[in-house]
Chain A
Amino acid sequence: DAGVTQSPTHLIKTRGQQVTLRCSPKSGHDTVSWYQQALGQGPQFIFQYYEEEERQRGNFPDRFSGHQFPNYSSELNVNALLLGDSALYLCASSERLAGNTDTQYFGPGTRLTVL
């Protein structure tokens, strides 16, 4: 049973470009959250998707947008890239079920470098 998978592993872009990162949740999970982790810092919550809608959002500008597909996979889009967007982007999945005793699972991340 595959865990959370993300693609690509690494990505290099230049300022002003747009990027799309992808995430497939763990089998049986229906909720996907995205985090940004700058070097030396803890992950910062970007937003969460459930039932193909954004349910929670962290303190990130509108340049960051997302999508969830009917198969629960998700995309993170970042427009007008800035140097400060260089980071490890993490996807976490979970099952939004009352009484669920399992925890969130993180993927390996996508390392984005903006030049």
Chain B
Amino acid sequence: LAKTTQPISMDSYEGQEVNITCSHNNIATNDYITWYQQFPSQGPRFIIQGYKTKVTNEVASLFIPADRKSSTLSLPRVSLSDTAVYYCLVGDLYIYNQGGKLIFGQGTELSVKP
């Protein structure tokens, strides 16, 4: 799987929009980009997945430029409950959907303050 690089930590305040960028310079043609959220002492939870351009769901948006060497997870109007670690992963769909090996980096620890 392509190696990913993301900031170790970020701080924000309630109501702000938070953007977490992930670099994946060696992404392969068949690779998708997936973001997971993890609260303390809980398992990671799938947030969003995309291949190119922009993907939006009820939780977040994912922006992927044309060269796909990076991606940005955007969390609109964060609340205290969004305080968590966010992981960016890159790999083909088989890995995510059929139980392949997921490779997690250290993730970005987001702290939302009142």
Tell me the residues in window 87-114 of chain B with beta carbons closer than 8 Å to chain A beta carbons: 87, 96-107
- A104: which B residues are within 8 A, CB to CB? 46, 96-97, 99, 102
CB pair A43 B102 closer than 8 Å: yes
Tell me the residues in window 58-114 of chain B with beta carbons closer than 8 Å to chain A beta carbons: 87, 96-107
Count, A-B residue pairs, CB within 8 A: 73
How many residues from B make CB contacts under 8 Å with A?
21
Query: B57 within 8 Å of A by Cβ?
Result: no
How many residues from A make CB contacts under 8 Å with B?
36
Query: B54 within 8 Å of A by Cβ?
Result: no
CB pair B97 A42 closer than 8 Å: no
- A31: which B residues are within 8 A, CB to CB? 98-99
CB pair A33 B43 closer than 8 Å: no
Query: A22 within 8 Å of B by Cβ?
Result: no
- B45: which A residues are within 8 A, CB to CB? 106
Residues of chain A having any CB pair with chain B under 8 Å? 4, 31-33, 35, 40-45, 48, 50, 56, 58, 88, 90-98, 100-109, 111
